[in-house]
């Protein structure tokens, strides 16, 4: 077996998939949010305002703020149903049509008998959206909760706003429980930026696409042609017989994780490539890569299913 990743035509585009504006509970206008992300070097964002009646169910139209160097994907953060802890669901949906039918979600409190989160996730996916389970740690999500969302493409494993504001921004435990029960899901890092705290420019996705257009980016996201980061770059991953090779920006640690405690770790100085044995992961159906730089910033590959 010899599998290389990120070899498709195109280039990497940096984007944030979870952002809010004054169309819901953010403090900046949609135009200013887009301006700031472009000024920070981002290639695209998805403005995902809260899709509740309190804000008139917004799917914020940011198409007027696109230009030759920057684009936007329309989306929303969907809310409906009730988790096991009694709280409302949060689902990031990128690529929604503007005529997407709202649920019965007049506010941020669950409504008895409202549409389930599983159903709205499926509706969003059927409408062409990329769907992600948002901030599972912050939400207090159980394994049964997470397993119920069968239409999700990804789990939000890093939410910068939750890291900054309550130190509950991690979602790997939820992701790996799903992987270990056979769910084929990817992962995303996001900001969840509202701009009322330093909750911006902390986590992003790097999407390999032929064009920086909403259509090309959305297609690549659904195909898993991306990685997630808080700093480092992942340039290539090559899975070979018995080992994995990783090309990256300067790193001090490269890790391959798998099911259970299976892992292989390489430590070094300013590493830009590394080879790690898969001997200890021989029984794991999936692996994923973590790259850590000297500042402690991380980049994460999507899970790789060895037998696929």
- The whole-number pLDDT of residue 3 equals 65
**203 and 266 co-located in one domain:** no
Which one of 195, 229, 263 terminates a domain? 229
Which one of 209, 229, 249 terminates a domain? 229
**115 and 246 co-located in one domain:** no
Contacts of 164 (CB under 8 A, 6+ apart): 197, 198, 199, 202
DSSP 3-state percent helix, strand, coil across the chain (nearest 5): 20, 35, 45
Range of the domain at 175: 10-229
Which one of 229, 251, 280 terminates a domain? 229
**153 and 264 co-located in one domain:** no
Distance CA(20)–CA(5), nearest Å, equals 32
Query: With contact defined as beta carbons under 8 Å apart, do 97 and 128 qualify?
Result: yes
- Strand-pairing partners, residue 290, are 255, 300
Q: Going residue by residue through the chain, which has 308 residues, state the pLDDT in tens, using 9 for 90 and above.
A: 456 678 878 999 999 999 999 999 999 999 999 999 999 999 999 999 999 999 999 999 999 999 999 999 999 999 999 999 999 999 999 999 999 999 999 999 999 999 999 999 999 999 999 999 999 999 999 999 999 999 999 999 999 999 999 999 999 999 999 999 999 999 999 999 999 999 999 999 999 999 999 999 999 999 999 999 999 999 999 999 899 999 999 999 999 999 999 899 999 999 999 999 999 999 999 999 999 999 999 999 999 998 76
- The whole-number pLDDT of residue 7 equals 80
Which CATH number belongs to the domain containing residue 252 in this structure? 2.60.40.10
Query: With contact defined as beta carbons under 8 Å apart, do 217 and 73 qualify?
Result: yes
Asked whether residue 84 is assigned to any structural domain, the reply reads yes
| Pairing between β-strand 298-300 and β-strand 204-209 as defined by DSSP bridges | unpaired
- The whole-number pLDDT of residue 24 equals 98
Query: Under the phi-then-psi rule, with left for phi > 0, alpha for psi from -120 to 50, and beta for the rest, what region is 6?
Result: left
Structural domain count of the chain: 2
**220 and 254 co-located in one domain:** no
**110 and 247 co-located in one domain:** no
Asked whether residue 156 is assigned to any structural domain, the reply reads yes
- The whole-number pLDDT of residue 1 equals 44
**42 and 155 co-located in one domain:** yes
- pTM, two decimals, is 0.96
Place of tokens 């703020």: 65
Query: With contact defined as beta carbons under 8 Å apart, do 33 and 6 qualify?
Result: no
């Amino acid at each position: 077996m010899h599998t290389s990743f990120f070899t498709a035509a195109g280039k990497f585009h940096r984007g944030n998939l979870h952002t809010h504006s004054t169309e819901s509970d953010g403090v900046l206008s949609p135009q200013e949010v887009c301006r700031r992300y472009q000024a920070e070097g981002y290639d695209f964002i998805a403005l995902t305002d809260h899709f509740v009646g309190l804000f008139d169910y917004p799917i914020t139209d940011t198409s007027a703020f696109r230009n030759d160097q920057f684009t936007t994907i329309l989306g929303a953060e969907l809310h409906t149903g009730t988790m096991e802890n009694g709280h409302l669901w949060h689902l990031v949906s990128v690529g929604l049509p503007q005529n997407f039918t709202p649920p019965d979600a007049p506010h941020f409190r669950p409504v008895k008998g409202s549409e389930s989160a599983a159903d709205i996730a499926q509706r969003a996916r059927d409408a062409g959206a990329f769907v992600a389970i948002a901030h599972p740690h912050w939400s207090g999500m159980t394994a049964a909760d997470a397993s119920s969302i069968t239409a999700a493409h990804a789990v939000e494993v890093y939410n910068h706003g939750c890291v900054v504001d309550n130190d509950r921004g991690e979602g790997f435990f939820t992701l790996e429980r799903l992987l270990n029960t056979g769910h084929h899901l990817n992962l995303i890092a996001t900001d969840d930026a509202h701009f009322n705290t330093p909750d911006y420019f902390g986590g992003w996705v790097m999407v390999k696409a032929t064009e920086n257009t909403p259509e090309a980016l959305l297609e690549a996201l659904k195909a898993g042609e991306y990685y997630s980061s808080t700093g480092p770059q992942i340039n290539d991953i090559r899975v070979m017989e018995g080992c994995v090779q990783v090309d990256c920006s300067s790193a001090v640690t490269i890790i391959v994780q798998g099911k259970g405690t299976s892992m292989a770790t390489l430590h070094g100085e300013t590493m830009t490539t590394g080879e790690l044995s898969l001997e200890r992961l021989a029984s794991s159906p999936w692996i994923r890569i973590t790259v850590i730089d000297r500042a402690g910033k991380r980049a994460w590959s999507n899970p790789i299913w060895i037998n696929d």
